[in-house]
């Protein structure tokens, strides 16, 4: 194999190790982000429940004040009943009292409905609060674990980066730049073999004349389709 390509393939092995470590960190951090999201969602839902309960409390207190007013109005009407002169006045007061009682009954029922709904919400909220407490602990544990893991991986990465720098020093700048560009664009695979005349990066057939040049291995050649750097790799076409 062409010496420069050989150096690049070795560099690629190192880069793949680095990419693997980066992926490990990314996975751990994605896990953590998922947990954080679930935790935040639960906190939001607790806040929403709390808001509902508070609003229901205000509504209940308003209704209770209205009930008290209604009751004193009825009492007032009832005492007036003693002093009425005409049947018409009597009937009118009676109707007002009846209407008042009806309104009281409706409001009382409404208060019961509100209290029942609030009790149900309070029960759900208590469950959510207990869960959020557990999740908070799990989240803190996970965070610590991920941080520890990440710093361990970073340590491993630093060592490999030193190795990479030493390796890269032996490679011409122009080749290195080309390689780095391809590595970024081609998902970490910049140098690939040609097996049975097929590029192992994009799996397109290499034209015969181009393939013959690759076989010679005297210079860096790229795949006409994906531009990856190619080297000849024995397949079952080997004699
Ligand atoms: Zn290709």
Structural domains in the chain, sorted by start: 25-153 (1.10.287.1490), 174-232 (no CATH)
The position carrying tokens 């397949």 is 235
Distance 25 CA to ligand 1 centre (A): 30
Q: From residue 171, how far is each of 6, 82, 204, 205, 213 by CA, in Å?
A: 10, 113, 28, 28, 21
pLDDT, residue 237, reads 55
Q: What is the pLDDT of residues 106-156, one digit of tens each?
A: 999 999 999 999 999 999 999 999 999 999 999 999 999 999 999 999 999
The segments of the chain whose pLDDT lies below 70 read 236-239
Q: From residue 216, how far is each of 82, 140, 166, 232 by CA, in Å?
A: 123, 59, 28, 9
Distance 190 CA to ligand 1 centre (A): 10
Distance 122 CA to ligand 1 centre (A): 63
pTM assigned to the model: 0.71
Distance 7 CA to ligand 1 centre (A): 20
pLDDT, residue 239, reads 43
Give the start-end residues of each E strand in 87-150.
Answer: none
Distance 45 CA to ligand 1 centre (A): 51
Q: From residue 211, how far is each of 3, 184, 186 by CA, in Å?
A: 18, 25, 21
Distance 120 CA to ligand 1 centre (A): 63
Average pLDDT, the chain: 94
Distance 71 CA to ligand 1 centre (A): 89
Distance 187 CA to ligand 1 centre (A): 13
Distance 151 CA to ligand 1 centre (A): 37
3-state secondary structure of 95: helix
Distance 226 CA to ligand 1 centre (A): 4
Distance 184 CA to ligand 1 centre (A): 15
Distance 207 CA to ligand 1 centre (A): 12
Q: What angle do CA 70, 76, 80 make, to 5 degrees?
A: 140
């Amino acid at each position: 194999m062409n010496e420069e390509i050989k150096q690049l393939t070795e560099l690629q092995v190192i880069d793949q190790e680095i990419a693997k470590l980066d992926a490990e960190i990314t996975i751990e951090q994605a896990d953590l982000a998922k947990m954080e999201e679930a935790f935040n969602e639960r906190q939001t839902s607790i806040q929403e429940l709390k808001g509902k309960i508070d609003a229901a409390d205000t509504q209940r207190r308003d209704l209770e004040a209205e009930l008290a007013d209604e009751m004193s109005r009825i009492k007032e009407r009832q005492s007036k009943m003693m002093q009425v002169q005409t049947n018409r006045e009597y009937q009118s007061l009676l109707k007002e009292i009846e209407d008042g009682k009806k309104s009281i009954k409706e409001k009382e029922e409404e208060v019961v409905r509100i209290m029942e709904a609030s009790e149900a919400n309070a029960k759900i909220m208590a469950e959510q609060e207990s869960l959020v407490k557990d999740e908070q602990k799990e989240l803190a544990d996970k965070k610590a674990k991920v941080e520890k893991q990440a710093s361990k991986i970073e340590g491993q990465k630093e060592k490999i980066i030193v190795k990479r720098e030493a390796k890269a020093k032996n490679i011409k700048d122009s080749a290195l730049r080309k390689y780095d560009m391809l590595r970024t664009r081609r998902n970490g695979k910049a140098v690939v073999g040609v097996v049975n005349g097929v590029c192992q990066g994009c799996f397109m057939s290499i034209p015969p004349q181009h393939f013959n040049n690759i076989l010679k291995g005297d210079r860096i050649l790229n795949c006409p389709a994906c531009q990856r750097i190619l080297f000849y790799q024995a397949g079952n076409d080997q004699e």
